[in-house]
C-alpha cells in the first residue's frame, strides 16, 4: 500500500512513481487548465508592456471623448501635453514625458502599440520588468529631446521614440549577453530588430510628417543604456545595480546637455509664446517686450516678425509696424495676413499706392478673408475709387455678415453714395451688434427719417 502525498490516505499504486491517490490525481487534473489560465492572466496583468499599452490606449480614448473625433487638433494635443520646442524648453519640461503617451490618430496608436507589444516581451525577459519600464521612460524622454533639438518648435507626440529606444537597447543586450547559447538563440531576433530599425528610419526619412528626430533620439538613448544595463544573471547583485545607476547618470548628463542646447535654440519661440500669453492677459507692454526680444534673437523668424508687427499696429504705431510686416512678406511671401496688416499700416501713414498694392496681394492670397476685402475697400475709397470700394466692402460683408466694422463701413459708403434706403439693413445690423454705440443709433434714425 502507498500513502497519498496529498490527503494521507492509503491506496494501491500501480507503480513506484505514483504518489497521489486516484481521487487527488483526478482533482489535480481538473484544476490544471484553470491554473494554467490563471497563471497566464497573472503574467499579462503583471507585464509592464501590457500596462503601458493599456495606459496609451486609455489616454487616446479620453482624448477622443474630449475632442469628439478620432483625430486631434494641435490645440487639443498641446492641452494634453504634446511636445513643442517653445513650450517645452521654455520651462514646461514635463512635456518630454507626457507627449510619449499621446497619439494623433487610430493608425498612429495602432502601429505603435503593435510594435511595443512585439518588442516589449523580449525586453522584459532580458532586462527584467522594473528596468524595462525605466528603459521605456528614459528612451521616450530621449526621443522627445531629439525632436526639439532637431526640429525646434514643431509639435510631436507618440511612443515611437520610446519604442525605437527599446529596439536600440535590445541590439547590444543580445549581442553582449553572457550566455553564448542564448546569444545564438537570439540571433534571428537580433537580425529582425536591426532590419526594423533600418527600415523604419528610411521610411521616416522618406515620408513627410514623421518625426524621425524622435526616432533617432530614442534609438541612441536605447543603444547607450542597452550596452550598460545588465541582462540575465548579471542583473542580480550590487554590480548590476551599480551598472543601472551609472547608465542612468550618464544618460541624464546627456539629457541636461541636450536640454540646454534646445533651450538656447528655441528661445525665440519661447519669447514669442510669452508675448502671446502677455497679450491675452492684457499686458501689452510685456507682450511687445517679449515680441521684440523674439525678433532680436531670430530676425529671420516670420512668425515673430508678424506677431511684433500686428501688436504694434494694434497699439496704433503704424510707422513702427511697417518694418516687421515687410520682413514677414519677405520671409513668407505666400502669407496673406502679412500683406493685409501691412496695407492697414501704410493706409494710416497715407502711403496709399503702396497700401493698395499690398491689399490687392492680400486679397489674392486670402480671397475668403473678410479683413482683406475690408481693408481693400477702405484704401480704394481713400483713392476716390468709389465703385471699387463698394465692391470690396460688399464682399467683406458677404464673407462676414456678423462683422460690425464691415456692416458699418459698407452702410456709410452707401449713404455717402446716395443709397440711403439700401444702407438701412446694414446700419440696423451694426446697431444690433453694438446697441450702445450712439453714433450708429443716430445715423440709423436719421436714415429712417426719424
Per residue in 159-198, pLDDT (tens digit) is 999 999 999 999 888 887 666 766 676 677 777 888 888 8
State pLDDT tens for residues 249-258: 999 999 999 9
378 within a domain of the structure (yes/no): no
Q: Which residue has the cell 501691412?
A: 342
Domain final residue, candidates 210, 232, 249:
249
Contacts 24+ apart (CB under 8 A), 366-372: 366/336, 366/337, 366/340, 368/399, 369/336, 369/337, 369/340, 369/399, 370/395, 370/396, 370/397, 370/399, 370/400, 370/403, 370/406, 371/337, 371/340, 371/396, 372/336, 372/340
CB-CB neighbours of 316 under 10 Å:
9
Give the β-pairing of 155-156 and 83-84: antiparallel
Hunting for cell 486679397 — which residue is that?
Answer: 363
Q: Is 434 a catalytic residue?
A: no
Residues 7 and 100 in one domain: no
> Is 147 in the same domain as 241?
yes
Q: What is the pLDDT of residue 21?
A: 65
Helix (H) or strand (E) holding 2: strand 2-3
Residue 437 lies in a domain: yes
- Which of 215, 274, 303, 431 is catalytic? The answer is 215
Angle between helical axes of 267-281 and 237-265 (0-180°, round to 10): 70
Together in a domain, 82 and 183: yes
pLDDT at 201: 83
Predicted confidence at residue 318, as pLDDT, reads 95
Distance CA(393)–CA(373), nearest Å, equals 6
CA distance 337 to 368: 11
pTM value?
Answer: 0.72
The answer on 125 and 245 residing in a single domain is: yes
pLDDT value for 287: 94
Q: Which of 202, 222, 249 is the last residue of a domain?
A: 249
> Are 39 and 58 in a shared domain?
no
Residue 3: helix, strand or coil by DSSP?
strand
At 413 the pLDDT is 92
Active-site annotation holds for 26: no
Same-domain status, 111 and 22 = no
3-state SS record for 258-287 = HHHHHHHHCHHHHHHHHHHHHHHHCCHHHH
pLDDT of residue 5: 47
Quote the DSSP letter at residue 100.
G
* Residue 169, in any domain of the structure: yes
- The Cα–Cα gap between 354 and 348 comes to 12
Q: Are residue 11 and residue 70 in the same domain, yes or no?
A: no
In terms of domains, do 38 and 137 share one?
A: no
Residues spanned by the domain of 445: 401-450
CA–CA dist 387, 254 (Å, integer) = 66
Q: Per the domain annotation, does 320 fall within a domain?
A: no
Which domain-ending residue is among 220, 249, 278? Answer: 249
Q: Please indicate, yes or no, if residue 410 is contained in any of the structural domains.
A: yes
Q: What is the pLDDT of residue 443?
A: 87
Does 238 share its domain with 115?
Answer: yes
| Residue 235 to residues 177, 186, 223, 240, Cα–Cα distance (Å) | 11, 18, 18, 5
Quick one: pLDDT at residue 23? 63
Are 81 and 213 contained in the same domain? yes
Domain-located, residue 264: no
Catalytic, out of 160, 294, 304, 372? 160
Structural domains of the chain, count: 3
Query: What residue ranges of the chain have pLDDT lower than 70?
Result: 1-44, 177-179, 181-183, 185-186, 232-233, 450
Residues 28 and 137 both lie in one domain: no
**What pLDDT score does 243 carry?**
92
The residue whose grid cell reads 543604456 is: 225
Same domain, 57 and 41: no
**Domain presence at residue 307:** no
Asked if 131 contacts 169 with a C-beta cutoff of 8 angstroms, the reply is: no
Asked whether residue 16 is assigned to any structural domain, the reply reads: yes
Amino acid at each position: 500500500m502507498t500513502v497519498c502525498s496529498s490527503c494521507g490516505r492509503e491506496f494501491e499504486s500501480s507503480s513506484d512513481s505514483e504518489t497521489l491517490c486516484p481521487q487527488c490525481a483526478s482533482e489535480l487534473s481538473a484544476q490544471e487548465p484553470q491554473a494554467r489560465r490563471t497563471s497566464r492572466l497573472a503574467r499579462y496583468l503583471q507585464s509592464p508592456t501590457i500596462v503601458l499599452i493599456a495606459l496609451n490606449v486609455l489616454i487616446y480614448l479620453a482624448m477622443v471623448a474630449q475632442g469628439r473625433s478620432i483625430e486631434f487638433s494641435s490645440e487639443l494635443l498641446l492641452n494634453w501635453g504634446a511636445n513643442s520646442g517653445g513650450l517645452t524648453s521654455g520651462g514646461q519640461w514635463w512635456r518630454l514625458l507626457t507627449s510619449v503617451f499621446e497619439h494623433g490618430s487610430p493608425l498612429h496608436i495602432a502601429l505603435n502599440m503593435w510594435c511595443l507589444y512585439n518588442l516589449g516581451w523580449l525586453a522584459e525577459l532580458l532586462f527584467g520588468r522594473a528596468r524595462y519600464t525605466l528603459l521605456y521612460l528614459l528612451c521616450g524622454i530621449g526621443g522627445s529631446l531629439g525632436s526639439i533639438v532637431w526640429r525646434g518648435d514643431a509639435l510631436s507626440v507618440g511612443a515611437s521614440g520610446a519604442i525605437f529606444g527599446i529596439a536600440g537597447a535590445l541590439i547590444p543586450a543580445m549581442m553582449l549577453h553572457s550566455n553564448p547559447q542564448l546569444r545564438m538563440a537570439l540571433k534571428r531576433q537580433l537580425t529582425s530588430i536591426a532590419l526594423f530599425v533600418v527600415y523604419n528610419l528610411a521610411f521616416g526619412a522618406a515620408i513627410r510628417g514623421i518625426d524621425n528626430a524622435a526616432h533617432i533620439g530614442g534609438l541612441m538613448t536605447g543603444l547607450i543604456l542597452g550596452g550598460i544595463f545588465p541582462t540575465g544573471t548579471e542583473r542580480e547583485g550590487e554590480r548590476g545595480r551599480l551598472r543601472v545607476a551609472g547608465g542612468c547618470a550618464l544618460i541624464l548628463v546627456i539629457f541636461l546637455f541636450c536640454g540646454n542646447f534646445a533651450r538656447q535654440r528655441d528661445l525665440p519661440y519661447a519669447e514669442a509664446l510669452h508675448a502671446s500669453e502677455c497679450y491675452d492677459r492684457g499686458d501689452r507692454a510685456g507682450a511687445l517686450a517679449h515680441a521684440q526680444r523674439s525678433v532680436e534673437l531670430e530676425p529671420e523668424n516670420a512668425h515673430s516678425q508678424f506677431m511684433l508687427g500686428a501688436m504694434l499696429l494694434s497699439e496704433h504705431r503704424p510707422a513702427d509696424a511697417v518694418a516687421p510686416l515687410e520682413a514677414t512678406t519677405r520671409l513668407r511671401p505666400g502669407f496673406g495676413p502679412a500683406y493685409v496688416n501691412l496695407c492697414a499700416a501704410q493706409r494710416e501713414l497715407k502711403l496709399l499706392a503702396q497700401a493698395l498694392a499690398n491689399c490687392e496681394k492680400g486679397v489674392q492670397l486670402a480671397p475668403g478673408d473678410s479683413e482683406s476685402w475690408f481693408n481693400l475697400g477702405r484704401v480704394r475709397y481713400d483713392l476716390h475709387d468709389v465703385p471699387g470700394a463698394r465692391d470690396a466692402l460688399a464682399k467683406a460683408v458677404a464673407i462676414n455678415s456678423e462683422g460690425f466694422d464691415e456692416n458699418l463701413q459698407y452702410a456709410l459708403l452707401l449713404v455717402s453714395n446716395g443709397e440711403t434706403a439700401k444702407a438701412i439693413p446694414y446700419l440696423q445690423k451694426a446697431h444690433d451688434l453694438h446697441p450702445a454705440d450712439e453714433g450708429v443709433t443716430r445715423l440709423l434714425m436719421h436714415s429712417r427719417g426719424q
